[in-house]
Amino acid sequence: MDLKHRWASCTASSNLNFHWKCMMAPLTVIDYIVVHELAHLIHPNHTAAFWNEVDKVLPDFQERKSWLMDNGAGMDL
């Protein structure tokens, strides 16, 4: 999907949607995006509890998140 400025989303009915540009990211970053959205199935917000869920699966999620923030805008090719 083209989600404009978001890499992915989790709807109120638990549907996960991913921006088509995610396919251009390194696999480790794709893993982060997927885990981030799956964590929204448990916590629909970005509270400490949400980030705790992400951390349980990806203890290095901050590095992956930083890569996406630093390089995501350049994934237009």
| Calpha distance 22→12 (Å, rounded) | 22
Domain boundaries, the chain: 8-74
Length of the chain: 77
- pTM for the model: 0.86
Quote the pLDDT of residue 77. 41
Quote the pLDDT of residue 37. 94
Task: Copy the structure tokens of residue 29.
Answer: 């970053």
For residue range 27-72, list pLDDT tens digits in order. Answer: 999 999 999 999 999 999 999 999 999 999 999 999 999 998 898 8
